[in-house]
């Protein structure tokens, strides 16, 4: 992560190196710098593709670039040998002028090429971008990017169309990906090792002809993709550090499993929720999970069962229920009772070990709360220690989530209400985005570095060939 930065550079969203020295015309190494050509990416107007040809070997080369007057940023430095070179420039807002310069380094000496001007294009759907209500950079974390899923409300929620986007702190869309018609994707996230994006593509209601559910891995440059079929994946999932995915699995009516699938596509069914709950709930939706959240530090996974207003904590070693919190018979209750769950979403543990839940307020009309609980093991009670939402005009009829950040702030999204808020530990508003169009917000993740997220899998994507391996992994170069 970048160190603490001056305010203008923080607005620019990146660290920058010391400016290169001008070339010395009397130095025999001061041959003309390669000319750089720039074009918009064929699939995304906010990506620029830079290309040039090196005539000799240098220790390192990179591009420095400036969006309008926001300050200079750099692409990652890499060794450059003679021959064609290419670099995708990430993190650019739409409809912007970008100045780009090639930098080379050899023997601790840097050289700077001629500036080249390029422009990004207009978003294919301007309504993707929210309005920026407030950004107090002194109060927010220094994560410059937000990865988010969106669904355009078109008469019924969960029918699509779906988008995956990256926003900067100004609320500008710097990256986007539309899913094919009829397919959903609610939980895109950075991989656990931070080298790529992981997302699901699901034909949840058969609107795309019954296509198999896929776990997909790719980088922001869209240069490659690996995908594996995930039988029974309906909605919610999370990734482990080894690349395996835990997910809610239902292939036939009445089923409800917590399953795990590895990178090669081998599925293991771990916990039979339908059998566990059968003596207390027999409805089709009893075990339908609207969130599956892996908690590595606890060796467990949380399943949020919306139909029973209950959260289960499943022990990953024994595949048994460690805790049941909520309104299902036999579950821990909340103190006070008015803090009980109601259509809760995305339960997760904070760094302090408290449980954070986004939930409706069952005793209040059209009210929502973010609630934080301590676990009283001896009394088997969730004790509310903090809540947020009173006096707020935000009611997520569907979805919503809250995350505790490293600096003590809480980042919240409000699902169908189409809003994101970051508040400080003292309750002050630090960042606020609101969509004017009817969007349903899915999972969100703050991102430190888009270039790190474009490193790719351990196997080089550029050396992979398109293959068909049944339900196993397929790595496909995109260019």
Q: Which of 39-53, 100-114, 465-479 shows the lowest mean pLDDT across its residues?
A: 465-479
Residue 320: which pLDDT band, with cuts at 50, 70 and 90? very high
> The domain 7-119 belongs to what CATH superfamily?
Immunoglobulins (2.60.40.10)
Residue 138: which pLDDT band, with cuts at 50, 70 and 90? very high
Q: Which of 310-319, 364-373, 440-449 shows the lowest mean pLDDT across its residues?
A: 364-373
**Look-up of token digits 């496909």:** 476
Summarised one tens digit per residue, pLDDT across range 166-216 is: 999 999 999 999 999 889 999 999 999 999 999 999 998 888 888 999 999
Measured distance CA(292)–CA(313) in Å, rounded: 10
Higher pLDDT, 19 or 285: 285
Does the pLDDT at position 2 exceed 80? no
Share of the chain above pLDDT 90, in %: 77
Q: Which two tokens stand for residue 473?
A: 């992994």
Q: Which of 249-253, 338-342, 474-478 shows the lowest mean pLDDT across its residues?
A: 474-478
Summarised one tens digit per residue, pLDDT across range 209-247 is: 889 999 999 999 999 999 999 999 999 999 999 999 999
Summarised one tens digit per residue, pLDDT across range 115-134 is: 999 999 999 999 999 999 99
Share of the chain above pLDDT 70, in %: 88
Summarised one tens digit per residue, pLDDT across range 292-315 is: 999 999 999 999 999 999 999 999
> What pLDDT shows up at residue 30?
59
Residue 13: which pLDDT band, with cuts at 50, 70 and 90? very low
Give the residue among 398, 374, 403 at the shortest CA–CA distance from 386: 374
Does the pLDDT at position 459 exceed 90? no
User: In 154-191, which positions are buried (b, 16+ CB within 10 angstroms) versus exposed (e)?
Assistant: eeeebbbbbbbbbbbbebbbbbbbbbeebbbbbbbbbb
What CATH number has the domain spanning 126-463? 2.130.10.10
> What pLDDT shows up at residue 248?
97
Q: Which of 50-54, 69-73, 443-447, 462-466 shows the lowest mean pLDDT across its residues?
A: 462-466
CA dihedral angle for residue 202, residue 206, residue 212, residue 218, rounded to 10 degrees: -30
Does the pLDDT at position 379 exceed 90? yes
Could you tell me where in the chain the CATH 2.60.40.10 domains are found?
A: 7-119
Could you tell me where in the chain the CATH 2.130.10.10 domains are found?
A: 126-463
The residue count of the chain comes to 479
Residue 9: which pLDDT band, with cuts at 50, 70 and 90? very low
Does the pLDDT at position 250 exceed 60? yes
Does the pLDDT at position 22 exceed 90? no
Residue 358: which pLDDT band, with cuts at 50, 70 and 90? very high
Average pLDDT, the chain: 88
Q: Are 419 and 413 in contact (CB under 8 A)?
A: yes
pTM of the model: 0.89
> What pLDDT shows up at residue 395?
83
Does the pLDDT at position 66 exceed 50? yes
3-state secondary structure the chain: CCCCCCHHHHHHCCCCCCCCCCCCCCCCCCCCCCCCEEEECCCCCCCEEEEEEECCCEEEEEEEEEECCCCEEECCCEEECCEEEEEEECCCCCCCEEEEEEEEEECCEEEECCCEEEECCCCCCHHHCCEEEEECCCCCCCCCEEEEEEEECCCCCCCCCEEEEEEECCCCEEEEEECCCCCECCCCEECCCCCCEEEEEECCCCCCCCCCCEEEEECCCCCEEEEEECCCEEEEEEECCCCCEEEEECCCCCCCEEEEECCCCCEEEEEEHHHHHCCCCCCCCCCCEEEEEEEHHHCEEEEEEHHHCEEEEEECCCCEEEEEEECCCCCEEEECHHHCCCCCEEEEECCCCCEEEEEECCCCCCCEEEEEEEEECCCCEEEEEEEECCCCCCCCCCCCEEEECCCCCEEEECHHHCEEEEECCCCCEEEEEECCCCEEEEEEEEECCCCHHHCCCCCCHHHCCCCCCCCCCEEEECC
Average pLDDT, integer, range 439-447 = 96
Summarised one tens digit per residue, pLDDT across range 256-282 is: 999 999 999 999 999 999 999 999 998
């Amino acid at each position: 992560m970048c160190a603490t930065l001056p305010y203008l550079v923080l607005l620019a969203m990146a660290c920058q190196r010391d400016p290169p020295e001008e070339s010395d015309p009397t130095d025999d190494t001061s041959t003309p710098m390669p000319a750089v050509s720039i074009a918009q990416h064929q699939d995304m107007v906010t990506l620029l593709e830079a290309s040039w040809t090196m005539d000799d070997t240098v220790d390192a080369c990179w591009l420095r670039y400036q969006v309008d007057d926001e300050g200079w940023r750099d692409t990652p430095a890499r060794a450059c040998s003679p021959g064609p070179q290419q670099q995708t420039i990430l993190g650019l807002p739409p409809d912007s002028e970008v100045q780009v310069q090639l930098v080379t380094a050899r023997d601790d000496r840097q050289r700077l090429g001629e500036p080249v001007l390029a422009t990004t294009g207009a978003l294919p759907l301007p309504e993707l971008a929210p309005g920026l209500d407030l950004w107090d950079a002194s109060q927010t974390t220094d994560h410059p990017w937000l990865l988010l899923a969106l669904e355009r409300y078109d008469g019924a929620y969960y029918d699509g169309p779906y988008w995956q986007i990256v926003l900067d702190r100004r609320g500008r869309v710097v990256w986007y990906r539309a899913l094919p018609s009829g397919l959903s994707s609610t939980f895109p996230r950075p991989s656990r090792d931070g080298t790529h994006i992981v997302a699901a593509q699901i034909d949840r209601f058969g609107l795309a002809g019954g296509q198999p559910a896929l776990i997909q891995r790719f980088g922001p440059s869209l240069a490659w993709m690996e995908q594996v079929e995930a039988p029974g994946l309906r909605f919610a999932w999370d990734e482990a550090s080894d690349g395996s995915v835990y997910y809610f699995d239902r292939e036939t009516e009445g089923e409800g499993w917590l399953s795990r699938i590895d990178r090669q596509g081998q599925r293991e069914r771990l916990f039979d929720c339908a059998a566990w709950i059968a003596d207390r709930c027999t409805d089709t939706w009893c075990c339908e999970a609207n969130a599956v959240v892996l908690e590595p530090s606890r060796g467990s996974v949380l399943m949020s069962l919306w139909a029973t207003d209950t959260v289960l904590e499943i022990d990953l070693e024994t595949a048994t229920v460690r805790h049941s919190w909520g309104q299902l018979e036999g579950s821990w209750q909340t103190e006070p009772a008015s803090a009980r769950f109601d259509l809760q979403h995305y339960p997760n543990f904070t760094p302090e070990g408290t449980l954070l839940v986004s939930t409706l307020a069952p005793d209040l009309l059209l009210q929502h709360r973010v609630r934080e609980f301590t676990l009283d093991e001896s009394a088997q009670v969730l004790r509310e220690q903090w809540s947020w939402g009173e006096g707020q005009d935000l009611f997520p009829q569907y979805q919503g989530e809250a995350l505790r950040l490293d600096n003590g702030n809480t980042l919240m999204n409000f699902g169908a209400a189409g809003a994101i808020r970051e508040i400080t530990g003292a309750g002050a508003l630090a960042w606020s985005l609101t969509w004017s169009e009817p969007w349903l917000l899915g999972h969100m993740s703050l991102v430190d570095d888009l270039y790190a997220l474009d490193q790719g899998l351990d196997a080089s994507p550029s050396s992979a060939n398109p293959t068909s391996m049944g339900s196993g992994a397929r790595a496909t170069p995109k260019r």
